[in-house]
Structures are given as C-alpha cells and as structure tokens.
Amino acid sequence: MNTKKLAGKIAVVTGASKGIGADIAKHFGAEGAAVVVNYASSKEGADRVVDEITKRGGKAIAVQANAPRKRSSTSIPPVATLSTSVQPLPH
C-alpha cells in the first residue's frame, strides 16, 4: 500500500527552478506526486530540481512556459488541457 499523500497525482509548480517554488516541487515529489517543474528562464535550475526529485525515486519533468497573471498564447494552458497533453513521465 502506498502511504504517500500525493501518489497518483500531478503537480504543476510554477517558478519551480529556485527558491520557494523549488522547495514546494521537491516536497510534492517526496509525497508521491509526478511534478511538472515549470521555469521561465532558468533551465539549469529546473533540471537540478528534476534531478533531486528523480534521485529520490520521484517522477518529474522540466517545462519552460510563461505563467502570467493574464492568459496569453504562450502561457500555461489550463490544468485540464495540460494533464491530457503531457506525455508519461520517465521512470
């Protein structure tokens, strides 16, 4: 039986390449969520967070996307759309 609170869930964490966002992404990964590590400009930071999550047995991918307060053509799609368009995470 899996006792992790977020097992089977997908967490999209914006600003997850550094600071509080990175800490939140790592926490969600530790709790069993598959984590989408969103970043605006720091691919290296996002890759480090993904690496930390996967080294601890979690699932994570880094995705560059704009997450503005107002939606634009380059902003993150609604979660319902995102969850149907994201490919399976690597094991």
Please, which residues bridge with residue 64 across strands?
A: 39
Higher pLDDT, 2 or 4: 4
Instruction: Dump pLDDT digits (tens) for 52-86.
Output: 999 999 999 999 887 666 655 555 555 444 444 44
What domains appear along the chain, each with residue ranges and CATH number? 10-85 (3.40.50.720)
Token output for 18: 């550094």
Q: The whole model's pTM is what?
A: 0.73
Q: How far apart are CA 27 and CA 25, in angstroms?
A: 5
pLDDT in tens, 7-48: 999 999 999 999 999 999 999 999 999 999 999 889 999 999
Going by C-alpha positions, the residue among 14, 57, 15, 16 that lies closest to residue 34 is 57
